[in-house]
């Protein structure tokens, strides 16, 4: 596409409540895509924000990012988006796919904050937002089972419900700026493959 509305490669923004299984489903999507000769590169916003924050000694791990002052998070957020597009532009050509593993809403220490503001989606120019969902009980049990991460500040039914609701709202709002598709993919317990296949079918529907 040469109209400036899109990048040459396809851009998908993956969203969902912490612990719903985004990173897990996306990894499987890459494997399934290889069998179909579709090149997908996943970039995790948290990774980019973390490496920059570590460089400046601002945090010790990724789960401290949401405790930083909002203006610091704002700077890291835009830095990460620009760096992701810069890196992806070097790796990907027409028909290839960038998936950004991120969040539509951040539960900061100070309140809910958008993960996909206008200036960010104008950098990403996403073809689609994919919202990964599961039942509230499934999400909480995944959060508690995965001891590699600190997610106890999310592990309450009313908070998960609110985050799911805000994720949908923010995705539909952001989609207005960039004419993006919004697709909900349910990541059922023990059915990562099924969710990954759905993500792949969205990609096939775009390219």
H/E run at residue 101: strand 97-101
Chain residues 156-195 in contact with ligand ATP, contact rule CB under 6 A:
187, 189-192
Q: Judged by CB, which is closer to ligand ATP: 7, or 25? A: 25
Residues of this chain that interact with ligand AMP (CB under 6 A) are 18, 44-46, 49, 62, 65-66, 73, 77, 101-103, 106, 115
Interface residue with ligand ATP among 146, 157, 179, 206 (CB under 6 A) is 146
Judged by CB under 6 A, the residue of 10, 12, 15, 19 near ligand ATP is 19
Q: Binding partner of residue 62 among Mg ion, ligand AMP, ligand ATP, none, CB under 5 to 8 Å per kind?
A: ligand AMP
| DSSP-derived 3-state class of residue 114 | strand
Shortest distance (Å) from residue 3 CB to ligand AMP: 26
Please report the DSSP string for 34-69 in residue order: HHTT--EEEEEHHHHHHHHHHHTT--SSGGGGGGS-
Residue 142 within binding range of ligand ATP, rule CB under 6 A: yes
Which part of the chain contacts ligand ATP (CB under 6 A), choosing from 17-25, 53-61, 89-97, 172-180? 17-25
Residue with tokens 């697709």: 183
- CA R_g for the chain: 16
As measured in angstroms, the least distance from the Cβ of 186 to ligand ATP is 9
Closest listed residue to residue 120, CA positions, set 174, 163, 165: 174
What are phi and psi for residue 82, nearest 5 degrees?
A: -65, -40
């Amino acid at each position: 596409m040469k109209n400036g509305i899109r990048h040459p490669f396809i851009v998908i923004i993956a969203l969902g409540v912490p612990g719903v299984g985004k990173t897990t489903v996306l990894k499987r999507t890459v494997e399934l895509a290889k069998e179909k000769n579709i090149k997908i590169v996943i970039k995790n916003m948290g990774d980019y924000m973390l490496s920059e924050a570590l460089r400046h000694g601002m945090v010790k791990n990724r789960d401290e990012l949401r405790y930083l002052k909002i203006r610091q998070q704002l700077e890291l957020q835009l830095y990460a988006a620009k760096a992701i597009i810069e890196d992806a532009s070097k790796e990907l050509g027409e028909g290839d796919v960038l998936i950004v593993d991120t969040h539509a809403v951040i539960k900061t220490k100070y309140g809910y904050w958008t993960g996909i503001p206008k200036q960010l989606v104008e950098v990403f120019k996403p073809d689609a937002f994919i919202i990964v969902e599961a039942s509230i009980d499934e999400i909480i049990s995944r959060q508690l089972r995965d001891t590699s991460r600190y997610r106890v500040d999310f592990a309450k039914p009313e908070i998960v419900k609110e985050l799911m609701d805000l994720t949908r709202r923010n995705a539909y709002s952001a989609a207005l700026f960039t004419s993006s598709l919004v697709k909900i993919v349910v990541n059922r317990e023990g059915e990562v493959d099924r969710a990954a296949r759905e993500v792949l079918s969205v990609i096939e529907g775009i390219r």
